[in-house]
Each structure stands twice: as structure tokens, then as C-alpha cells.
Structure 1
């Protein structure tokens, strides 16, 4: 089975992205952090071998060369996720969806997740986030994305609820390594420390956040 990697993202517009970084950041600084996180994520996905790539985006941010692009639909995050799977579904192709909040993710980790979707022992892969949410969800059949439409997102039990609704459909779910995603200033510092030396996110944290100082 082939696979496609979906990146769910918002166009980095001041006042509309990473608002929990404000303060200490200004809206403009928070948008720079978001833009750097998205850029690192797109670079990593581009470097992941053997997959199709599609940006599922809110706003006018362009997709990288060689990528597909799909506009987000829906009011709630759960709806946008469910539509993201449905609107990009290709028969016989698994979908692995990640966001733009884990710029430390590696191409090796994504490739391993895709390999798990090729394993007959798993129908889905789920990467939990340290805050109780999740950073990645892969489905052998993207039609099952409808299962998460009504799952409350951005709560301490989002990951557990997502796992429960997938298992309620009879899916065999393999779990990926847990990652920390970027919501707060403390997250930004911690994740920047995990990034590679050439990370745009780490540079943005150093040059934009550091002068502001800790709250």
C-alpha cells in the first residue's frame, strides 16, 4: 500500500496563530515562530521518501513544489480534520496526518510511521502528544477519519478519546512515540532544544523569543 503525508496547517498570520505565545511574544513574533515551525515541518515531510505529499491549509499559504494543496473545511478542528481525510482520500492509499506544531519531527520517524501502516497488524497509527492530545494519526483507510469529527480537540484527554473512537470502530491501532507540541513559551523552548542545528524553528526561538525573556 502506498501512502500520502498530510500536513494540516494555518497560514501564519499575526493574531491568528500561536496566540498562546502572547505574552511574552507579540502577535508578529508568534507568527514568525509559527512560520518557522511550518517551514521545518514541510522540509521534513519533503525529505520523507516514498510518499505523496499534500498541504491541507487554512488561508493562502502555498504548497511546496511537488506537493498537492487542499483548503480546509469545517468550523471545529474535529470537522477540519475529518474533512481533511475525506477531501484528500485516494483509493488504496493510506493517509498519515500531522500538524505544524512538532518541528522536531524527523523524516525517519515519519517513514517508520508509514511502514507501520503497511503492516497487516495495524489499521491505524497514533502519535500521542505530551499534553494529552496527539501529533500524528495515520489511517490505512482514510474514510475512518470521520470517527474523529466530534472528538473534542485541544483537551487533556483528546488523545485518549481519539484512541477510544478508533478502537470502537474495530481498528487495530499502533502507537507512535509521544512528542511535545508547541503551544506555550515553555513548549517553544523545550522543542527548540530538540531540533537540529539547522532548524528554522530553533533559530526563530533564539532570535525572536530570547530577547523577550521568560514570563
Structure 2
């Protein structure tokens, strides 16, 4: 997995905004009901499933698969946990908007015709949504593609030109992210293509939704495409649900609500 691989492949690069799994620093909004180690393990499972999803999309459209990773110096974690065929670029910036812009502009400068930035928190996202994003960006003319998240953010943003303004004056990690990004696109007079909405797994309620989908057979709505199976995540969830505690003995109420 080489950073230089972008120079070899045109078309659409889809890069996951990925963090290395570090207990106590990864998926902290899921601690509790998870322990720091369990939360880090869940992050790793998500990354593996999202990587497989990207590679599946790459067989259906002119897509190359990437991870834009942090923190600096964590490359070995990704080379040790991801399948072949995933490119790696480091993206260490002082804020999330700057990380997004650096990742997109770097891949565009390397020769890709379009770039999508994808979150790492939606392991069951339908592969068809990724293909739809790449297809929309392959059409003539500038535009932005957005995949709305149910929490008011977005799970994907796709661009054809390095529009820094799309990532400025956005209150990241709030329910205003999508609305503010749409306002930035309006300022730039950019046409917007909206994908179907999906959910991020970044809090306990969303984790319950994921368990319902992967373990209990309660699918999240999927418009025009079925969710990906997310096998790494499903197997980990089944193991976690068999443990005496998901966190500590003082978190029994949280665990009960998680598996309800």
C-alpha cells in the first residue's frame, strides 16, 4: 500500500477518514457502555469492513480505495490491519475541516478526477451508495455530492475541484454540519447531488441500531440498495454480547439498555 499509488489511477478516489485504534483515544463516545479496549477493537472492525466495502465498489466503478489516516506515525497499524489494494495517505491537521481539505486536495493533485471522503463509522453502508457517488462525479461539470447522516452531518462528501470553502466555517460534530456545508456549496454556486441518508455509529443509540441491524435482523432503511454484511463488525458484536460486562460492573444499566 503506497501513497504514490494515486499517480497511477484516474477516476474517483474514495478515502476513508480513519483513526488508528488506540484504547482510550478511539470511539470515546462509546465508553461506556464499552471499555476502552472494546471501543478500539470496534474501530478496527469498522475499518476492515469499510475497506472491504471500498474494494467491492472498486469492482463496480472506476474507483480507487484509500485511507486518509491519523495520527501521524500510525501507518504500521493500517498496513497491518487492511487488505491489499488500499492506498494510504497521512492527514494530520489541527482541525477536522483542514484534514478533509488536505486529503481531498492531495488526491486531486495526484491525478484523480474526483475525490470522495467517507467516514469510518458506517460499516453497513450500501456499496451502491459509493458507486452512485462516483457515477455522479463522473458526469460533466463541477458539483458536490453529499451523503446525509441521520444525525445532521454527512457520511460522504465528493468533489471534483479543491473547494476549500466547503470545509470552512462548519461546526464539526454537530447537527448543523450538513446544513452549513449546503450553505457553503450555495456560496460557490455548486450543484449538489444528495445520496440517500445513512447513520453513523458514534454514540450508544447508534450502537444499538447497529446491533439491531447486524445481530437482531432489524435492517436500517436502504433505498435502492442493500446494506453490506459487515462481517468483522458482526462477529465482534456477537463476542461482546457474550461477555459478562460490556464495560464495568457499575455499567450494568448501560449494558442492559445496549442489548435491549
Question: Normalising by structure 2, what TM-score?
Answer: 0.76
* Aligned pairs for 1:1-215 within 5 A: 2-49=11-58, 50-59=62-71, 60=74, 61-63=77-79, 64-89=83-108, 90-91=110-111, 93-120=113-140, 123-141=143-161, 143-192=162-211, 193=213, 194=219, 196-197=228-229, 199-209=231-241, 211=243, 212=246, 213-215=255-257
Aligned length: 214
**Deviations 1:130-186 (Å, cap 9, x if unpaired)?**
011110000022x11453144121001111101111221111011011111011122
How far is 1:87 from its partner?
A: 2.2
Going by fraction, where is helix more abundant, 1 or 2?
Answer: 2
Q: Which runs of 4+ in 1 moved over 4 A?
A: 194-198
Q: Note if contact 2:125-2:228 (Cα within 8 Å) is conserved in structure 1.
A: no
Is the 8 Å Cα contact of residues 116 and 122 (structure 1) preserved in structure 2? no
Distance 2:57 2:66 in 1: 13
Aligned partners of 1:122 and 1:177: how far apart in 2?
A: 20
> How far is 1:197 from its partner?
4.8
Counterpart CA distance in 2 for 1:20 and 1:209 is: 18
Q: What secondary structure is seen at the aligned counterpart in 2 of 1:171?
A: coil
For 1:18 and 1:136, the matched residues in 2 are separated by 19
Unaligned segments of structure 2, at least 5 residues: 1-9, 214-218, 220-226, 247-254
> How far does residue 46 in structure 1 lie from its aligned partner after superposition?
1.1
**Structure 2 vs 1, CA of residues 147 and 46 (structure 1 numbering), >3 Å: closer, same or farther?**
same
Tell me the CA shift for residue 83 of structure 1: 1.2
Q: Answer yes or no: is the 8 Å Cα contact 1:82–1:149 preserved in 2.
A: no
- In terms of fraction of residues, the more strand-rich structure is 1
Evaluate the alpha carbon distance shift between residue 14 and residue 45 of structure 1 in structure 2; reply closer, same or farther with a 3 A threshold.
Answer: same
Q: Distance in 2 between matches of 1:183 and 1:8?
A: 14
Who wins on radius of gyration, i.e. which is larger?
A: 2
Distance 1:11 1:198, change over 3 A: closer
Could you state the TM-score of these two structures normalised by the residue count of structure 1?
Answer: 0.91
Task: Quote the Cα distance in structure 2 between the aligned partners of 1:183 and 1:27.
Answer: 14
172-181 or 203-212, larger mean C-alpha shift: 203-212
